[in-house]
Amino acid sequence: MKNYITLSDIDNLENLISEARSLKSKNTVPDLGKGKTLGMLFFNSSLRTRLSTEKAAKLLGMEVMTMNVDKDGWTLEFEDGAVMNSDKAEHIKEAAAVLSQYCDIIAVRAFPGLKNKEKDESEQVLNSFKKYASVPVINLESATGHPLQALTDAITIQELKKKDKPKIVLSWAPHPKALPQSVPNSFTEMMQKLDVEFVITNPEGYDLNPEIRKETRVEHDQEKAFENADFIYVKNWSSYENYGQVLNVEKNWTVNQKKLEPSNNAKVMHCLPVRRNMVIADDVLDSENSIVIHQANNRTFAAQAVLKQLLKDED
Amino acid sequence: MKNYITLSDIDNLENLISEARSLKSKNTVPDLGKGKTLGMLFFNSSLRTRLSTEKAAKLLGMEVMTMNVDKDGWTLEFEDGAVMNSDKAEHIKEAAAVLSQYCDIIAVRAFPGLKNKEKDESEQVLNSFKKYASVPVINLESATGHPLQALTDAITIQELKKKDKPKIVLSWAPHPKALPQSVPNSFTEMMQKLDVEFVITNPEGYDLNPEIRKETRVEHDQEKAFENADFIYVKNWSSYENYGQVLNVEKNWTVNQKKLEPSNNAKVMHCLPVRRNMVIADDVLDSENSIVIHQANNRTFAAQAVLKQLLKDED
Amino acid sequence: MKNYITLSDIDNLENLISEARSLKSKNTVPDLGKGKTLGMLFFNSSLRTRLSTEKAAKLLGMEVMTMNVDKDGWTLEFEDGAVMNSDKAEHIKEAAAVLSQYCDIIAVRAFPGLKNKEKDESEQVLNSFKKYASVPVINLESATGHPLQALTDAITIQELKKKDKPKIVLSWAPHPKALPQSVPNSFTEMMQKLDVEFVITNPEGYDLNPEIRKETRVEHDQEKAFENADFIYVKNWSSYENYGQVLNVEKNWTVNQKKLEPSNNAKVMHCLPVRRNMVIADDVLDSENSIVIHQANNRTFAAQAVLKQLLKDED
């Protein structure tokens, strides 16, 4: 593995999931990371990603240097050939090249603006780091994907599934703000790689990018989608067709206990942070159906497996 | 010890003070903290608490992850049953449960709003962490108490006292802003546990919460209170009766050399940061009467003793 | 070496450069820094300095505690005798004394205001730390100097020079904002210490402080200055005569390939961050003439050599 920017960077998913589960259960291998430095760059807020990735790196013996880029450092210019006569103080070409000398792996979080589909899909920030860095780059959630979360989700499903081919439903849920499609995109791509029955349910107008959805069944009737579901992954996202918009439809998509009735006593997942009683009701989050805390714990081991693989393949 | 949230969490104060003094003088026990992580969460500014607690944890071999919660992470919702349709992105239930998986001990700083006495006294932030975290919680100064500071103060007095039962005076002093009662509250509670003669002096209108003060003598004449004092702890606080108000009375309570004359060449303490020439005059802070720097150094060893106890009792 | 605040703190420059180059090529000496803590205090933004100094300290086995002073801590008062009745919560006297107890070395970044020459030249922040701290102080770029950068520059020139006495030109270049003279000041002082032919070129009105410039030749014709240059160090600075002003003259001083023609295929240096196509054109930065990335890498080893020397001389 050279980078971990999209799920396609994974050489062998089965091995990576096994590695994460093994790291979770046994002692660590601190020698591998000794003398190596992880640089974490945040263009946006983070709690789980920040702390679980830092913890994962330290469990491997690495040093970690964290920066809130725009607040602690310099505003970066990403345009090639720009005349830098305004507010951008440093070009990504220099920043990425210099950071590659101070860090052995660079991890970057950069959310989409949700204003301009083409710009967001170009993944300018992450791809610029990939282009100009000489060390591996990890995606800590970018404009269109969150592959560390998707790996976490795969680990969690593998751990907790009770049948060979469980039914997994990804359900849209309401939210007051316009949110990225990164998490549902990567979850969809991950489910397409696993031996599961996968269905997406969302109101009309919220269908995900068809290039990511591909042949995955989309069911606009949430109740029908939940029938016999073993896992229900709840998540809000803004419209892809009306790019970045909140359509103000279907307020009754909040997932509560009543909605779980047609399911196979489904385990409920969410990447967190979750808006209680908007996205998922208290009666689900506070019940045994919820596995969101268990799932969040696996963030550490997903990150650890990815870091370990990158370190091994660098040597 | 299961948490360190109030002084009542201390099982054996004498032992804890001895432990801190012993940690100060001898080498550390880095194995105890090895592989353990302290998560420090700041809802407010900090210099001494941040650095001394980080240092204490590292002296025990722990890893430390620090977050300015609202700036780096997500704004937290603390109300049970809230419909999270506005600015709060994550509920304390999830945040505390997730952090308990990434951290072995969670330390939290959350000041009072000083607008609503009942709300402040409910200690919502700290008590929510205590309720929903599954690991020990340390109070890094909360709405109504600062027990790490009080332990520091006890250590300092034990170290520097020249008689068995010294006279200790807690003196109010002027300040341009409304400050919490956390430090004087915890200092008062700590003095009540030690074998000292303890007097509080403050202008009328500034009496501390009677439930904390209890039988402690309050003297509204500062000069009289200072007579034969061995230690004078200077600190501003806002009114408890007129909750959170600055009453704009008694500007002449600044502690200067002249005021120390009736004392027993008193050692002057303050938790820092101290406003020079408002709270304490230069002629005291720059004199040998001041032990504020010595006192600040003990923050590290107070934190180390508490962390060590929590780690030991967790095993 | 007791501090590293100006270049005059260096006891033996040749040895220090050798030490840095040796640290760069061989393994580290982690025992020297074990149990020691570097406190880094930022009053201004930083990327390279923050990360390279943190990395250098960790390569020596030190722990690092970083604070954005004004954002994470308390606003500091630097005036002696001030009545602290307004926005400053803590006096440098206490802050420096307390930090000296938590840290074995203190490193400080504090830029000039560029409004008041006398105030900037007094180096109030840095000199206050030097005065009140009881541990060594490192300058991470102050109002008038950046000696860690200058040491980096000396290392880089020693590494890459092809003749015994190379010609080095420091060239002013345009920039939309008023920048400090710290980097050109320290670079000038460093060049005066090395066996090089050193010329400064800048538009009229931009001559550096004569007390720093001393006998160094200043050439107001950039083309003439570049003749046979082996190294060209490009950097913007604001006017010293019209203190802190951008004079809006000579927009054609941007360094591009055409300007390098009269040089001896000069290597182009810059401390970074660099404004592309304002200060240096893409055709230089993306060419083999540019050594800015190589130069930035040496920041780590300059910092490591300084930290090592301070630790050794403290023992």
C-beta of residue B46 within 8 angstroms of C-beta of residue B187: no
Beta bridge partners of B168: B198, B231
Share of chain A above pLDDT 90, in %: 81
State yes or no: cis peptide before B203, omega within 30 of 0.
Answer: no
Query: Are the beta carbons of A5 and A130 closer than 8 angstroms?
Result: yes
| Residue B47 annotated as binding site | yes
The answer to whether the annotation marks C48 as part of a ligand binding site is: yes
Whether the pLDDT of residue A248 is over 80: the answer is: no
- Write out pLDDT tens, residues C62-120: 999 998 887 777 889 999 999 999 889 999 999 999 999 999 999 999 999 999 999 99
- Put simply, the chain C residues between 103 and 122 with a CB less than 8 A from any chain B CB are 103
C149-295 topology per CATH: Rossmann fold (3.40.50)
- Residue A163 CA, chain-centre distance (Å), reads 25
Which residue in chain A has the smallest CA separation from C68? A72
Percent of chain C residues topping a pLDDT of 90: 81
3.40.50.1370, 3.20.20.70, 3.40.50.720, 3.40.50.11260: CATH of B149-296: 3.40.50.1370
- Amino acid at residue number B94: E
Confidence of residue A71 (pLDDT cuts 50, 70, 90): confident
Residue where the block lists tokens 């592959």: A147
Residue with tokens 């001559």: C207
Q: Which DSSP letter does residue B107 get?
A: E
**A87 φ, ψ (degrees, to nearest 5):** -95, -10
pLDDT value, residue C315: 65
Q: What's the Cα-to-Cα distance from C253 to each of B38, B207, C201, C258, rounded to whole Å? A: 52, 68, 10, 12
Of A255-259, B19-23, C29-33, C248-252, the range with the highest mean pLDDT is A255-259
Point out the residue among C72, C81, C98 whose CB comes nearest to the CB of B272. Answer: C98
Ordered by start, the domain boundaries in chain B are 7-145+298-314, 149-296
**Torsion B192-B194-B197-B198 (CA) sign:** negative
At C232, which helix (H) or strand (E)? strand C231-235
Question: pLDDT tens-digit profile of B178-228?
Answer: 999 999 999 999 999 999 999 999 999 999 999 999 999 999 999 999 999
Q: Which CATH architecture has domain B7-145+298-314?
A: 3-Layer(aba) Sandwich (3.40)
Q: Which of A35, A39, A89 sits opposite C273 (nearest CB)?
A: A89
Q: Return the closest-CA partner of residue A45 out of A62, A18, A69.
A: A69
- Nearest by CB to C272, which of A71, A81, A98? A98
**What is the structure's pLDDT at A315?**
65
Q: Give the fold, CATH level 3, of C7-145+297-314.
A: Rossmann fold (3.40.50)
Give the span between the Cα atoms of C209 and C186, in whole angstroms.
Answer: 11
SS3 A180: coil
Fold of A147-295: Rossmann fold (3.40.50)
Straight-line distance from the first to the last Cα atom of chain B, in angstroms, rounded to the nearest whole number: 12
What mean pLDDT is predicted for residues A283-288? 98
For residue A122, what is the DSSP state?
Answer: T
Closest among A315, A283, A143, A140 to A212, alpha carbons compared: A143
Instruction: Quote the ipTM score.
Output: 0.91
Distance from CA of C98 to the nearest CA of B (A): 6
For tokens 């003088």, name the residue: B25
Q: Are C238 and C245 in contact, with CB atoms under 8 Å apart?
A: yes
Question: What is the per-residue pLDDT across A45-61, written as a single tens digit (0 to 9) for each?
Answer: 888 999 999 999 998 98
Residues in Cβ contact with A85 at an 8 Å cutoff, skipping those fewer than 6 apart: C176, C275, C278
Residue A131 contacts C where some CB pair is shorter than 8 Å: no
What single DSSP character describes residue C111? Answer: -
Q: Considering only alpha carbons, which residue of chain B is nearest residue C34?
A: B59
C24 neighbors C52 (Cβ within 8 angstroms): no
| pLDDT for C249 | 65
Asked if B148 contacts B307 with a C-beta cutoff of 8 angstroms, the reply is: no
Are A74 and C275 within 8 A, CB to CB?
A: no
d(CA C314, CA A46): 40
Best to test chain C binding among B275, B284, B300, B304 (most C CBs inside 10 Å)? B275
Shortest Cα–Cα distance, C68 to chain B (Å): 10
Q: Is the dihedral of CA B283, B289, B294, B296 positive or negative?
A: negative
**Cross-chain residue pair A55–B73, CB shorter than 8 Å:** no
User: Which pLDDT belongs to residue B29?
Assistant: 64
pLDDT in tens, B257-281: 999 999 999 999 999 999 999 999 9
CA distance A117 to A135: 28
Q: What is the mean pLDDT of residues B129-144?
A: 95
Phi, psi of C99 (to 5 degrees): -60, -30
